[in-house]
Amino acid sequence: MATERGSDRWGLAERRLYLCTPDRPDLEVFVGRCIAGGVDIVQLREKHLDDSALVQRAALVKQVCTAEGVPFVLNDRPDLAATMGADGVHVGQDDTSPAEARAIIGDRAILGLSTHTPGELAAAVDGHGGGAPAPVDYLSAGPVVATPTKPGRPGTGTDYLSMAVARSPWPVWVTGGVDPDCVGGLVAAGARHFVVVRWLVGADDPEHAARSLRRSIDQALADAAT
């Protein structure tokens, strides 16, 4: 019997709001409140911890996510994701290649890939030099606007988002400054899946902030479907 892919196991195409968070002192409580407000996939993105500390913090997030039926994704490190039982891993253009990451984490895990340019999109969808497409479950596209979480990277604008949505056989998660005010324009450009960092990480009440953003997403998608 064929192995069920992580994207199918988790119903990835139906998920809408993806929290990407660094480590923080209240990590468990923060993630739980975000999920209560409507977040339905969580990534820990932390570049400054040693491997042991990162695994410990990731395990805390995984425990919260598992209790709520939400997939947990670790950024950059397929080796640690496999070791600690993460539900998936997300890699960037300068990280482990998608093929190598897939070999490490296996077919049942979610694998995501960042894209920022038409060339990166083409390489993922069409394969390098006419090879096989990247063995991923989703792409991210952006940041549509410049953001402090990606210093030095210019915004891609919504044209790239529209291109990625049109060309990708996988769900495309838009990144860059996602908040309730911009959701309508992103939906008009084709977005159906949203990555959020600052709107929640900087919120005094993350559950309320997540609920406000999720409400805006659901309303914009409902309006687009009519």
| Positions marked catalytic | 45, 114, 150
Do the Cβ atoms of 174 and 209 come closer than 8 Å?
A: no
Neighbours of 202 (CB within 10 A): 9
Rounded to 5 degrees, φ, ψ at 144 are -65, -30
Spatial distance between the Cα atoms of 95 and 81, rounded to a whole number of angstroms: 14
Spatial distance between the Cα atoms of 95 and 113, rounded to a whole number of angstroms: 10
- Residue 75 DSSP code: E
Do the Cβ atoms of 191 and 161 come closer than 8 Å?
A: yes
- Residue 155 DSSP code: P
Cα–Cα nearest to 176, from 193, 190, 194, 160 = 194
